[in-house]
Amino acid sequence: MALIRKSKQFKWRRKHLLGLRELSVEEITYILDTAKGFEQISTRSVKKAPPLRGKVVVNLFFEDSTRTRNSFALAASRLSADIIEFTQKASSVSKGETLLDTARNLEAMGIDIVVIRHNAGGAPKFLSRNINACVVNAGDGFCEHPTQGLLDVYTIRKIKGTLEGLKIAIVGDIAHSRVARSDMWAMTKLGAEVIFVGPPTLMPTQLSRLPVSVSYSLDEVIEKVDVINMLRIQFERLGGNPFPSIREYSHYFGLTVERMKRAKPDILVMHPGPINRGLEMESEVADGERSVILEQVTNGLAVRMAVLFLVNQAAAQGD
């Protein structure tokens, strides 16, 4: 395919994309390079290419999502696939059907690729072991969100040229964040230094075994970093009372105009969306000149096209 810049001797072999922890540097780079080839499709007058023509992609979403779901749907459609939308409410999951039965039924209809979002960590892996279709993880519990991690490093690489040697802060509810985990794996594999920032009550256990450093002070970190990724406070996942009030959280961990004055002039401000404006980030910063939040969304499309393309190709060659 002329769009794809071929890396020497490398061949993509995975028919599932379950997480970034298991990917090599070479594999991550290959996806990013493939995405680069797809980026131009969205700027053409006819925004469609044929590689998934005749294939069926199902968006199997058990959790709410707007941008990821739409991004996958659009990516599949640009590659000429047919798309089935499946939501928990519209399905028989509420009637007690298991995840496995739901997936097997969909597969019996001739599905080629399942894009799954689920509240249980490991659900995509569980599916991949039990069905023949390709499985793409669109977010599982607080385990991984690999396409978000990929689009984040894609965005950084596009602007900064490389991740090698960059210092990147990921700020907020690390404990319940699949984005933080996927970012951590991708960014550190590509040579960046990652700092998790947030209150200790929102940090996962045994961080010492992860390839990151930890800071409880955004004020200390803000001056040092090349990229800052502000996570959304996920009120739906927070148990108990991990911080005393929103006001106090914003005081210590909000990205304000004031704090931005002390940041490096070429810092990139990222957010996986949707933003709680005024909570983790002030509107002026979200919409400011260092923000690349909308570029992330644009790049997400190219990355997801690349992922769908690659898993489908691996499935075709593997069987």
**Contacting positions for other proteins (CB under 8 A):** 21, 98-100, 118-123, 125-126, 130, 140-144, 178, 181, 204-207, 209-210, 239
- Nearer Cβ to other proteins (229/299): 229
198: left (phi over 0), alpha (psi -120 to 50) or beta: left
**Beta carbon of residue 2, minimum distance to other proteins (angstroms, whole number):** 39
Cβ neighbourhood burial of 13 (10 Å; 0-12, 13-18, 19+): exposed
- Nearer Cβ to other proteins (103/222): 103
- Nearer Cβ to other proteins (122/288): 122
Query: Are 30 and 281 in contact, with CB atoms under 8 Å apart?
Result: no
Q: Is 236 helix (H, G, I), strand (E, B) or coil?
A: coil
Beta carbons within 8 Å of 129's beta carbon, 6+ residues apart? none
**Beta carbon of residue 210, minimum distance to other proteins (angstroms, whole number):** 7
Angle at 98 (CA atoms; ends 94, 99), nearest 5 degrees: 100
Q: Would you call the peptide bond into 274 cis, given omega within 30 degrees of 0 as the criterion?
A: yes
**Beta carbon of residue 121, minimum distance to other proteins (angstroms, whole number):** 3
- Nearer Cβ to other proteins (87/119): 119
Instruction: Report which of 318, 17, 25 is spatially closest to residue 139, judged by C-alpha positions.
Output: 17
Query: Are 78 and 305 in contact, with CB atoms under 8 Å apart?
Result: yes
Give strand pairing partners of 82: 56
- Nearer Cβ to other proteins (206/245): 206
**Beta carbon of residue 276, minimum distance to other proteins (angstroms, whole number):** 22
**Beta carbon of residue 16, minimum distance to other proteins (angstroms, whole number):** 14
Instruction: Report which of 3, 18, 2, 48 is spatially closest to residue 182, judged by C-alpha positions.
Output: 18
- Nearer Cβ to other proteins (239/265): 239
**Beta carbon of residue 176, minimum distance to other proteins (angstroms, whole number):** 9
**Beta carbon of residue 111, minimum distance to other proteins (angstroms, whole number):** 19
Residues present in the chain in total = 319
**Residue matched to tokens 């955004």:** 218
- Nearer Cβ to other proteins (118/271): 118
Q: What is the CA radius of gyration of the chain?
A: 19
User: Amino acid identity, residue 305?
Assistant: M
Paired tokens of 105: 């039924």
**Beta carbon of residue 143, minimum distance to other proteins (angstroms, whole number):** 3
- Nearer Cβ to other proteins (52/186): 186
